[in-house]
Amino acid sequence: MSRLDRAKEKLAKTNYDALYVTSEVNQRYMTDFAFTDGSVLITHEKSYVITDFRYIEAAKAKVVGDYEIITPDRRAGDFLRELCRENHVKTLAFEEGSMTYAGYKSLSSRLDGVELIGVGGFVEDLRMYKEPGEVEKIIAAQRIAEQAFAELLPEIKRGMYETDIALELEYKMRKLGAEDKSFETIAVSGSASAMPHGVPRRQPIENGFFTFDFGALVDGYHSDMTRTVVVGKADDEMKRLYNTVLEAQLAAEAVITEGFKNADADKTARDIIENAGYHGCFGHSLGHGVGLEIHEAPGLHAHAGDMTLKAGQIVTVEPGIYIEGKYGCRIEDMMLITEGGAKVLTNCPKELIELDI
């Protein structure tokens, strides 16, 4: 079933006559075409890509789905009113997360007679289930990231700045075909590794844990991985910490399967870390969905209720232990949930690496 058909099927189960898509990432998802300054209108019958003349030619070539591609010949709100009238739209669902207050005011002043209903997660819920083509792009991005990392490790020398190492990793990903990094690269050593989202510093790498959290972008799709290595030698305490994170990470990957509760995946990893005595040192959730955005649904966390993992979802599994002011460690893979199972998409060793430099 096409994305548009899935959206229409979902729309049919609501009281809305149409969905007005204003989030750029959701517009891209719904049409397979990346554009700005436009919108997508999905009604039970016809659907429209509304874009301006700068994009019209590309849109005609690239939009996937049974859309009419149109350019407004008057103010956007007035144009939308016409479309609503033509399609007998009385209740219009809009994406409340991407509409500004000013945009809402302008829309409601122009659409009299149309009830506006703010909705959240309509398209995001569809995006959770990846099509084979989307999975391929995420895997392609992951292969680039892990190859860049494999090439980077032997090049790390004492005295190099964290910022330069991060830049080198990004450069390698671009050379290997990534269109960009998938988010700001984390490459933090020593005491900075204690911060889960530390920013690389313009200073030489320190001894001890060195955490890399990074990804590549391929055709709009993100990858996400974390590896922690050691600059110099790991002492017994560091080895115990690393192995606890690894044990928690492997245990979560072992239980994750179609139908398993998201909250229980988090608990599996968290219990191992707590039971090893690292109370309160794993201060974030176990994982998140990955796709057209680096963080998307579903989440693997304690508050996921009865939510279970479903085939087609791609999630990260990323436990960590952070000792404030001292150091920290995280290990992160991506997993694809399959019919009756799950598989790890990340192809990169996880045993402790000590950089003898």
3-class DSSP assignment, residue 299: strand
Closer of 21 and 329 to Zn ion (Cβ):
329
Q: Write the binding mask 164 to 203 for Zn ion: x where contact by CB under 5 A, - elsewhere.
A: ----------------------------------------
Closer of 168 and 224 to Zn ion (Cβ):
224
User: CB under 5 A: which stretch of 172-180, 221-229, 243-251, 302-310 binds Zn ion?
Assistant: 221-229
CA dihedral 147, 28, 344, 342 (to 10 degrees): -170
**Closest CB 334 distance from Zn ion, rounded Å:** 8
**Closest CB 178 distance from Zn ion, rounded Å:** 15
**Closest CB 154 distance from Zn ion, rounded Å:** 23
Closer of 87 and 316 to Zn ion (Cβ):
316
Closer of 17 and 332 to Zn ion (Cβ):
332
User: CB under 5 A: which stretch of 73-81, 124-132, 218-226, 251-259 binds Zn ion?
Assistant: 218-226
Q: How many other C-beta atoms lie within 10 A of the C-beta of residue 106?
A: 15
Closer of 190 and 299 to Zn ion (Cβ):
299
**Closest CB 2 distance from Zn ion, rounded Å:** 29
Q: What region, left, alpha or beta, does residue 131 occupy, with left being phi > 0 and alpha being psi -120 to 50 degrees?
A: beta
Residue 150 CB-half CA count within 13 A: 12
The answer to whether residues 314 and 300 touch, using CB atoms and an 8 Å cutoff, is no
**Closest CB 215 distance from Zn ion, rounded Å:** 7
Strands (E), the chain: 18-21, 39-43, 47-50, 68-70, 91-95, 115-119, 180-181, 186-189, 208-214, 216-218, 221-222, 225-231, 287-289, 296-300, 314-317, 320-323, 327-330, 333-338, 341-344, 354-355
The radius of gyration of the chain from alpha carbons, rounded to an integer in Å, stands at: 23
β-pairing verdict for 225-231 and 354-355:
parallel
**Closest CB 61 distance from Zn ion, rounded Å:** 34
3-class DSSP assignment, residue 261: strand
Q: With binding defined as CB under 5 A, does residue 213 bind Zn ion?
A: yes
User: CB under 5 A: which stretch of 84-92, 210-218, 236-244, 271-279 binds Zn ion?
Assistant: 210-218
Q: How far is CA 96 from CA 44, 111, 185, in A?
A: 20, 16, 30
Instruction: Kindly state the DSSP code that residue 17 receives in the 8-state scheme.
Output: S
Report the site for Zn ion in 257-286 (rule: CB under 5 A).
Answer: none
Question: Given candidates 95, 124, 224, 333, which one binds Zn ion under the rule CB under 5 A?
Answer: 224
Tokens of 20: 């007005």
Report the site for Zn ion in 303-342 (rule: CB under 5 A).
Answer: 316, 332
**Closest CB 52 distance from Zn ion, rounded Å:** 35
Closer of 42 and 329 to Zn ion (Cβ):
329
**Closest CB 223 distance from Zn ion, rounded Å:** 9
Tokens of 95: 């994406």
Closer of 224 and 296 to Zn ion (Cβ):
224
**Closest CB 189 distance from Zn ion, rounded Å:** 17
Tokens of 93: 């669902």
Q: What region, left, alpha or beta, does residue 230 occupy, with left being phi > 0 and alpha being psi -120 to 50 degrees?
A: beta
Closer of 71 and 147 to Zn ion (Cβ):
147
CA gap 290, 129 in Å, rounded? 11
Tokens of 77: 């709100």
Closer of 38 and 196 to Zn ion (Cβ):
196
**Closest CB 112 distance from Zn ion, rounded Å:** 45
Q: Write the binding mask 225 to 244 for Zn ion: x where contact by CB under 5 A, - elsewhere.
A: -x------------------
β-pairing verdict for 18-21 and 91-95:
parallel
Closer of 208 and 289 to Zn ion (Cβ):
289
Interacting residues with Zn ion (CB under 5 A): 213, 224, 226, 316, 332
